[in-house]
Amino acid sequence: MKTVGVFDSGVGGLSVLRALLAELPGVRFIYVADSAYAPYGERTVAEITERSERITAWLRQTHHIDALVVACNTATALAIDSLRDAHPDLPIVGVEPALKPAAATSRTRHIGVLATRGTLNSKRFARLRAQLENTASSPVHFACQPCDGLADAIERGDLQAQQALCERYVHALRDEAPGDMDTVVLGCTHYPFAAYMLTQLLGAGVALVDTGEAVARRTRDVLGVTATMDANTTPPVLLSTGDPAALAVAAQRWLGLQIRAEKLAT
Ligand code: DGL
């Protein structure tokens, strides 16, 4: 049986784990929520690189993982190159804001992007955006909004703060978008858990796009696992550097998993 490590700054990567479990039921997933160090969105490159490296090293030593999924846009934007350099023999799948799928489907060509400050300020994001703005056959306009505090509010399960922040950032996005926005990219893996609030504010006509399913398909390709190799569903192992009970509650609420989470000291 293949074993895959998955990590995020906290509970947000559960939105990716949900897609991975649906796509790869026969794979054993070890999920690490780095909640003691969340949020990553406003941390430095050095801090995020150090945390990503520590978690990856631990997953390799302890669980001998066959592949790693960086279920965090911020860690992908800031640390995936150095992780790949340090682990050339380990297949590593990252998560990037879904600008390409959004550009492929948007009819109005006006797309909003909600993500952390770290992701939006990264060179990787600038490259991706420039590629699409400059080379798309019909031009596309991205309005990008950093959402300071939103991942943290989702992490803490604070619904009032989530509502206030979603209102603030949807208004800001509307002010910035010059045209009729029909698509909004959720460029942080925490945000799918606020999707219902965002849809209420944006209206049902605005499509929300995230990357969970694409990442799950890419992980299947990387592992070389075929559908016939999928056996029974294997429950994931859940670990948190912060409060394991909070991770277990989030996994039950959002994924319907009834599993204990363990404390990870790394
Ligand atoms: N969930 C992460 C992301 O996709 C990080 C959010 C945070 O910790 O700020 O960017």
Mean pLDDT calculated for residue range 93-111:
95
Over the chain, what is the mean pLDDT?
94
Overall pTM > 0.85: yes
**138 CA to centre of ligand 1 in angstroms:** 31
Among the listed residues 244, 241, 221, 261, the one whose alpha carbon sits nearest the alpha carbon of residue 24: 221
User: Tell me, what's the pLDDT at 136?
Assistant: 53
User: Tell me, what's the pLDDT at 32?
Assistant: 98
CA of 190, closest atom in ligand 1: 1
Give percent of the chain with pLDDT exceeding 90.
88
Given ligand 1 and candidates 6, 7, 9, 35, which is best to mutate, with the most ligand atoms within 8 Å of its CB? 9
| Domain positions in the chain | 3-95+212-263, 99-209
What digits encode the pLDDT tens for the residues 190-216? 999 999 999 999 999 999 999 999 999
**58 CA to centre of ligand 1 in angstroms:** 20
**Residue of the CA atom closest to atom 2 of ligand 1:** 72
Return d(Cα 254, Cα 180) in angstroms, integer.
32
Strand partners, 6: 31, 69
Given ligand 1 and candidates 47, 69, 72, 119, which is best to mutate, with the most ligand atoms within 8 Å of its CB? 72
Ligand 1 pocket, Cβ-based, cut-off 6 angstroms? 8-10, 12, 38-41, 72-74, 116, 119, 151, 188-190
**75 CA to centre of ligand 1 in angstroms:** 8
CA of 40, closest atom in ligand 1: 8
Please check whether residue 31 is in contact with residue 234, taking contact to mean a CB–CB distance below 8 angstroms. no
Given ligand 1 and candidates 96, 121, 122, 188, which is best to mutate, with the most ligand atoms within 8 Å of its CB? 188
What digits encode the pLDDT tens for the residues 51-98? 999 999 999 999 999 999 999 999 999 999 999 999 999 999 999 999
Please check whether residue 1 is in contact with residue 27, taking contact to mean a CB–CB distance below 8 angstroms. yes
CA of 155, closest atom in ligand 1: 8
CATH code, residues 3-95+212-263: 3.40.50.1860
Cα distances (angstroms) measured from residue 63 to each of 3, 26, 55, 113, 203? 8, 16, 11, 35, 44
**10 CA to centre of ligand 1 in angstroms:** 8
Instruction: Pick 99-209's CATH classification: 3.40.50.10490, 3.40.50.1860, 3.40.50.300, 1.20.5.440.
Output: 3.40.50.1860
- Rounded to 5 degrees, what are φ and ψ at 197? -70, -45
188: region left, alpha or beta (phi > 0 left; psi from -120 to 50 alpha)? beta
**62 CA to centre of ligand 1 in angstroms:** 25
User: Tell me, what's the pLDDT at 138?
Assistant: 77
What digits encode the pLDDT tens for the residues 9-22? 999 999 999 999 99
What digits encode the pLDDT tens for the residues 23-46? 999 999 999 999 999 999 889 999
Same fold, 3-95+212-263 and 99-209: yes
Return d(Cα 186, Cα 193) in angstroms, integer.
10
**99 CA to centre of ligand 1 in angstroms:** 17
Non-local CB neighbours of 143 within 8 Å, separated by 6+ positions: 110, 111, 112, 113, 173, 176, 177, 178, 181
**Residue of the CA atom closest to atom 8 of ligand 1:** 39
Non-local CB neighbours of 74 within 8 Å, separated by 6+ positions: 9, 40, 41, 43, 48, 116, 118, 119, 188
User: Tell me, what's the pLDDT at 135?
Assistant: 65
End-to-end CA distance of the chain: 26
Return d(Cα 159, Cα 151) in angstroms, integer.
12
Provide the annotated active-site residues: 72, 188
User: Tell me, what's the pLDDT at 139?
Assistant: 82
User: Tell me, what's the pLDDT at 51?
Assistant: 98
